[in-house]
Every structure is written in structure tokens, then in C-alpha cells.
Amino acid sequence: MTNILLKSSKTRNLYSWILAAAVFSLGANSIAAQDLVNLDDERTKQLQELGVLLPNPEEIKRLSSEEFGKPLDQQDAEVLDEIARDANTYANLVSKITDEYDDYIRDNSRYDFVVEEVQKAPVVDVYLTADNEFKTIRNQAYLNLGKIALADGDQMKAFLLLNDAFRLSPFSCANGTEGCIRYEAEQLMKGQLGIEGQSYINWEK
């Protein structure tokens, strides 16, 4: 009788284990399926936002060089808007790669040797250069669009465009005010608001 009870108990435990494993497996599969659905939804959303074609970096550089080289009153607002949009999309795509590098470095920040090895990868500088170059193109386009709107008397539109150039640019003017998009955009916004005073340029030891 004791043996029968023991066997019965073991059988119940086995069934319980199998049932728990099955429930866990179903739950895991359900979570995995949900993750796939979320990924598909996110990808669909990004396709709607970014479009289906990758921006051509050489074409962006050619078009921006050509348009920025014209006097401001001869620059086409629609072309500048296209430049800003495509340069921003390209920079965002580069960031999708660099963000993973940043996350990995952050996760391993306590291990200096890992961080050093990651940062030594030659492609890291290439990513950073591309990211900075195309963000600068985008910001210059916004600055020029703001100036055009200002000249046309569209005060609020000008302010918002100038603010885009201001907030998206590096804050510190490492090479002084010459060519510093953030500084130039700020001066124009200050003028619109009737505010005077010297703006921050950069930190010097």
C-alpha cells in the first residue's frame, strides 16, 4: 500500500512538472510571438516615418554644397527642406548602429579593457564622423530656412526653425563663433525677442 502511494505521489509530481513545463512553454511562446508582433508594428511605423528608400549620402552632400553655396535669397526653401529631411534620416540610420555600440560600452563600463577595445575599432570614428557631418548639414539647412522665413516676415515660423537649428547643434562653439550654428541661431532668436547680452561661446581652461 505504501509503495502504491509513493508511486502515485511520484506520478502526480511528474504530471505537475510536465504541466508546469507546458504552461511555461506556452507562456514563453506567447511572449515570443508578442515580441515579433511588436517588432513588426515598430518596423511598419518606422517605414512610414522614414520611407522605403535609403538616403544617398553623396547626393545629400552634393545638393547641400550646391544650395548652401548660393546667396541666401537665392536658396530654395523646398530644396533646403529636402536636404534637412534626408540628412536627418541618414544621421538617424547611422545612430541605429552607434546606439548599440554606446549601449554595449555602457553595459561594460566597469571593464576598461572592453571599452578600450570597442573604441579602438576603426569603424567607430567613421560612424561618428558621418553622424556629425550629416547632423551639421541638417542644422545648417534649418538655420537657412529660419533666415528665409525671417526675411519673409514669418516671425513664429522663423523662430521655430531657428530653434531647431539651435537645440540640435552642439552647444559649445569649439572653434569660436565663426561657423557655429548654435551661436548664430541664438543671436537671431535673441533679436526676435528683444533680448541683449553676450551668449556662451565655449569653455576654456
Query: pLDDT of the chain along its 205 residues, tens only?
Result: 544 444 455 555 555 555 555 555 555 566 666 676 687 777 777 777 777 679 999 999 999 999 999 999 999 999 999 999 999 999 999 999 999 988 988 998 888 888 888 888 889 999 999 999 999 999 999 999 999 999 999 999 999 999 999 999 999 998 889 999 999 999 999 999 999 999 999 987 6
Residue 169 makes CB contacts below 8 A (sequence gap 6+) with: 135, 136, 139, 180, 181, 182, 185
Give pTM, 2 decimals.
Answer: 0.76
pLDDT score for 205: 64
CA–CA gap between residue 103 and residue 105 (Å, rounded)? 5
Phi/psi for 7 (5° steps) reads: -65, -40
- Residue position matching grid coordinates 522605403: 52
How far, in Å, are 40, 43, 93 from residue 47 at the CA level? 10, 6, 12
